[in-house]
Amino acid sequence: MAISTDFSVAIAGAGLSGLCLAQYLMRAGIDVHVYERDPGPFIRQQGYRIILDRYGLEALRESLPRPLYRLALATGDEPGGHLRFTDSRLRDAFTITFKDEPHATRQVDRLTLRSILMSGLHGRIHYGKAAVGVDHGGPAGLRLRFADGGAVTASVVVGADGVGSALRAQLTPDAEPENTPMAGVYGRSPLRRDGRSVIPEALRTSGVLAIADEVGRAFFFTSMWFGERPREAFARLAPGSYAPTGDDYVMWGLLLRQEEVPVSVRGNLLAMRDLAARMSADFHPVVRRLVDTAELDATVLNLFATGRRPRQWAVPRATMMGDAVHVMPPFGAHGGNTALRDAALLGHRLVEARASGTPVEEAIAAYQDEMVPYAFRAVDTAAGLMRRLTGGAAAPHWVLTRVLPRLHRVTVPEA
């Protein structure tokens, strides 16, 4: 596809939404470049697995060349599965069953997904480029400025720089996210020990949210089984792209109140894992073993926040996507899916405007008018779920942890 250079897009942030938009625009022949703060592509942990829902999958299908979309499905987990809500001893309260359809919900490894999203963008992702602001850059352009003193000019600038967005204060000055009382210490543990799965067969295809008797404490875990080994699938569908090793693993998260995470622990991997071990001591032995066998360098602390609806978009021809504008607590698995949905929608609006001659400002305003309602519905849903599952409302908590588990059989023997 020939790239037209009279119209260009600069994206700050090579996360899920930034890369997805770059893929969409590349396919349409639009000159796009992505500027990423990290010094390289796989420098730090960017999460473990991610559940894609129909919005996320549809966005990928619309944005990626066909072989790359097939690669995402091939390396993902089997479709279907369950989300079980249990008490701390893994006794079932209730279960949600996901549709067993390939394009409905899929669990994929996040590193693998990022690698897929980077495929074919060679020379268009620029690392070590921390965006700091946007200026007017002449009659039809903006300047995206970087912390290193450099700048680039583009027709459109997109802030996809995640929860800590450096561009947000300028582009949507009234939309600084709000802190919540909750946090998560996340980890990853090998799925097999001595050749055997550490997850009991009864939970093989389940994510589990185990809710403790103590209000505001819960433990989540889920296994990531690669459908096809990334090395083989990449060799077939995206030769030359980086293929992660793809060892199956268990991703887990201890949910607790932010006030329970001392400042001295934050950023200290060992101290965070010790905190998770202490706080999960009363859970089922399966849970405790997961924390004990966690890979230390995969430990991450996340302080949950909720985005605020932007009332004004201050810089025409500049906009934002994903967590930069609508961060949400990780309940319901909407954050990444909404970010991908934004990317496909914005890509669609920009490409359509180029084809029809619609002013680009109108295309961006149409994107924003459509994105804000669905994204903030997702924010409200995620925040509501967090309150119901971990909040102080005594009755629902009592029903979840005391009543329902006693009505069900024991799922996982404690031996």
Ligand X SMILES: Cc1cc2nc3c(=O)[nH]c(=O)nc-3n(C[C@H](O)[C@H](O)[C@H](O)COP(=O)(O)OP(=O)(O)OC[C@H]3O[C@@H](n4cnc5c(N)ncnc54)[C@H](O)[C@@H]3O)c2cc1C
- Judged by the rule CB under 6 A, the positions of this chain that interact with ligand X are 12-18, 35-38, 47, 50-51, 130-131, 160-162, 164, 166, 186, 253, 302, 322-324, 330, 333-337, 339
Query: Smallest distance, Å, CB 121 to ligand X?
Result: 13
Q: How many helices (H) and strands (E) does the chain have?
A: 13, 19
Please write down the HEC assignment for all residues of 91-152.
Answer: EEEEEEECCCCCCCCEEEEHHHHHHHHHCCCCCCEECCCCEEEEEECCCCCEEEEECCCCEE
Compute the distance between CA of residue 125 and CA of residue 160 in angstroms, rounded to an integer: 13
Nearer to ligand X, 68 or 301 (CB): 301
Nearer to ligand X, 91 or 165 (CB): 165
Order of all β-strands in the sheet with 178-190: 92-97, 82-87, 206-211, 218-224, 249-257, 178-190, 300-306
Give me the residue whose beta carbon is nearest to ligand X.
15
Main-chain phi, psi angles of 409, to 5 degrees: -70, 160
Nearer to ligand X, 11 or 74 (CB): 11
**What are the strands, taking DSSP E only, across 42-81?**
49-52
Nearer to ligand X, 55 or 91 (CB): 55
Nearer to ligand X, 130 or 351 (CB): 130
Q: Six-digit token pair at 318?
A: 């500049």
Nearer to ligand X, 148 or 232 (CB): 148
Compute the distance between CA of residue 11 and CA of residue 56 in angstroms, rounded to an integer: 19
Compute the distance between CA of residue 47 and CA of residue 67 in angstroms, rounded to an integer: 24
Compute the distance between CA of residue 171 and CA of residue 318 in angstroms, rounded to an integer: 7
Closest C-alpha among 76, 89, 11, 80 to residue 342: 11
Nearer to ligand X, 164 or 239 (CB): 164
Query: Smallest distance, Å, CB 95 to ligand X?
Result: 18
Query: Smallest distance, Å, CB 195 to ligand X?
Result: 28
Number of other residues whose CB lies within 10 A of the CB of residue 89: 20
Nearer to ligand X, 42 or 398 (CB): 42
Query: Smallest distance, Å, CB 165 to ligand X?
Result: 7
Q: Six-digit token pair at 28?
A: 């349409």
Nearer to ligand X, 50 or 346 (CB): 50
Residue whose token pair is 């060892």: 247
Query: Smallest distance, Å, CB 394 to ligand X?
Result: 28
Nearer to ligand X, 258 or 302 (CB): 302
Order of all β-strands in the sheet with 4-12: 125-126, 30-35, 4-12, 156-159, 318-320
Main-chain phi, psi angles of 172, to 5 degrees: -135, 80
Q: Six-digit token pair at 351?
A: 């490409």
